[in-house]
Amino acid sequence: MIKQYGMYMAWVVSLVAVGGSLYFSEVLRFEPCKLCWFQRIFMYPQVILLGMACYKNDRRLIGYVLPLSIIGGCISLYHYAEQKVPGLAKLLPCTIGVPCDQDYIDWLGFITIPLLALTAFVLITIFLWAARRSEDSEQDERGTDREPSVSNR
């Protein structure tokens, strides 16, 4: 099921992530820090790209969205580590606006906004990877991914 509907599930995760991001900033008035903005830069286009891919049932866009998800996930991982490891925030401190190590939410002592973003990026990556594997195996069965042979002249 995840192979068949992975692209659609990734799109739903991106919609929820963007909705949550906008809820935190526009409704709860949490001002995003610099790292939050970078995470948004990598999440927001995924809603549009995955929406187009789902509408057209075009799995070729997966190759374009996966790097966005992986890079955004790395930023989220660093941001989460910066919040949870006190010395890390001193290495590259946020100098403009809200400090990046500030916790607006701290549910159960470990769930923060960067962890929520990291979870979304990881889920999107897993879903897209599974959907891509599904496409690769289908192409292998049809033999469409083989390069055309060069004829002897």
User: Which sign, positive or negative, has the C-alpha torsion 26, 45, 69, 98?
Assistant: negative
Residue 153 inside a domain? The answer is no
Structural domain of 87: 2-142
* Residue 150 φ/ψ region, left for φ over 0, alpha for ψ in the -120 to 50 degree band, beta for the rest: beta
The per-residue pLDDT string of the chain (153 residues; one tens digit each, 9 = 90 and over) reads 778 899 999 999 999 999 999 999 999 999 999 999 999 999 999 999 999 999 999 999 999 999 999 999 999 999 999 988 878 877 777 767 778 777 888 889 889 999 999 999 999 999 999 998 766 555 555 555 545 545 454
Phi, psi of 107 (to 5 degrees): -75, 135
Whichever domain contains 63, its CATH number is 1.20.1550
Residue 18 inside a domain? The answer is yes
DSSP E strands, the chain = none
Number of domains in the chain: 1
* DSSP 8-state assignment for residue 28: S
Query: Has this prediction a pTM greater than 0.85?
Result: no
Tell me the three state secondary structure of residue 147: coil
Place of tokens 């799109």: 11
What is the CA 148 to chain-centroid distance, rounded?
35
Residue 150 inside a domain? The answer is no
User: Alpha-carbon distance 102 to 98, whole Å?
Assistant: 7
